Amino acid sequence: MISYMIPTHPSWLLLIVSLPTSSATGRMRIWRALKSLGCVALRDGAHLLPASPAHEEALQALADECSREGGSAWLMAIQARSADESATYRQLFDRSEDYAELRKTWREANPGMGTPGAPELARLQRKLQREYDAVRAIDFFPGEASVEAEAAWTDLNKRIDGVLSPDEPHESEGRIPLLDPSQYQGRTWATRRRLWVDRVASAWLIRRFIDRDARFQWLARPSDCPKRALGFDFDGATFTHVDDRVTFETLMASFGLDTDPGLARLATIVHALDIGGEPVPEAVGFEAVIAGARERLVDDDALLAEMSTVLDSLYAHFAREVRRGSDKGGNR
């Protein structure tokens, strides 16, 4: 194990590998792994990374793989001898060109007229997100290019969101008061038609946990919302986005449901798919199901009925996981 001291100038890791010419597959596999780690090739077979325990572990694993492929590998720690030399090493990891290429791709994506549909555009957004995340993961010394790319990425996502959900509510600020569900029974609830993730989950939550006799009205435009109806998930609605909460989370907080661990797990899916954030394993599958259901069903009542079954099943699954975790904890 390489010992890490606190140096005057940053430390670096240098991996020197040599593989037999007959090992083309192994050579390609190791080259791809080095590239994904963000290594800089100083010359053929010599690869540099900033020193860290994680980088050392990854490079040692590649060194071991080289040995298994019949080659040889040397992993060593090196130290910059001066501030100028350290700056030279850092410059080797400048990601400005990578960010420029990303921004070119984003400009060419140009979501707008001719967009094939919400599922396709959502898939494009995820693909671009993965590419952006891959560059950021190897940007060890962020600079002005990363700041400019972040601003461009934010702008692109706003344009994509504008195409996917032109009437999507904007985030508002304020305290969420705790409400008495008994005062919200047998009401008419209204939201934008052609339900998507937050709206369908919110409608399910309303009927399942808040107002079992709820009637729903699907609006062509938010301005069509009747005065006596309880609007949700559009600007000016009774229940909508507040701070970083999506409408589903606002409804949970409003009616004291945010202590339910099963609903909390569902909320992570809705949040991730509606406004982004930490990846959630089940989110991709849920998005695929609702996208397919929207293709088959043009009636929002039918769509809500079908997706309610999915949400019921997910909720039951999450609730069972929570119970199992509690049982295990209690048996320790």
Note the pLDDT of residue 123: 80
Residue with tokens 């010359």: 43
Q: Give the full edge-to-edge strand order of the sheet including 72-79.
A: 40-43, 46-50, 11-18, 72-79
Separation in Å, CA 104 to CA 100, 140, 141, 223, 323: 6, 22, 22, 38, 49
Q: What is the mean pLDDT of each run of 10 residues along the chain (332 residues)?
A: 47 91 82 93 91 94 90 92 89 94 85 58 85 94 90 80 64 78 96 94 98 96 93 93 93 96 96 87 93 93 97 95 69 52
Beta bridge partners of 11: 79
Burial of 65 (0-12, 13-18, 19+ CB in 10 A): middle
User: pTM for the full model?
Assistant: 0.54
Residues 255 and 240: their CA atoms lie apart, in Å, by 14
From 14, 52, 53, 4, select the one nearest 34 (Cα to Cα): 14
Note the pLDDT of residue 329: 57
- Checking 278-283 for CB contacts under 8 A at 24+ apart, the result is 282/314
Note the pLDDT of residue 5: 43
From 138, 139, 129, 133, select the one nearest 109 (Cα to Cα): 129
Residues 295 and 318: their CA atoms lie apart, in Å, by 27
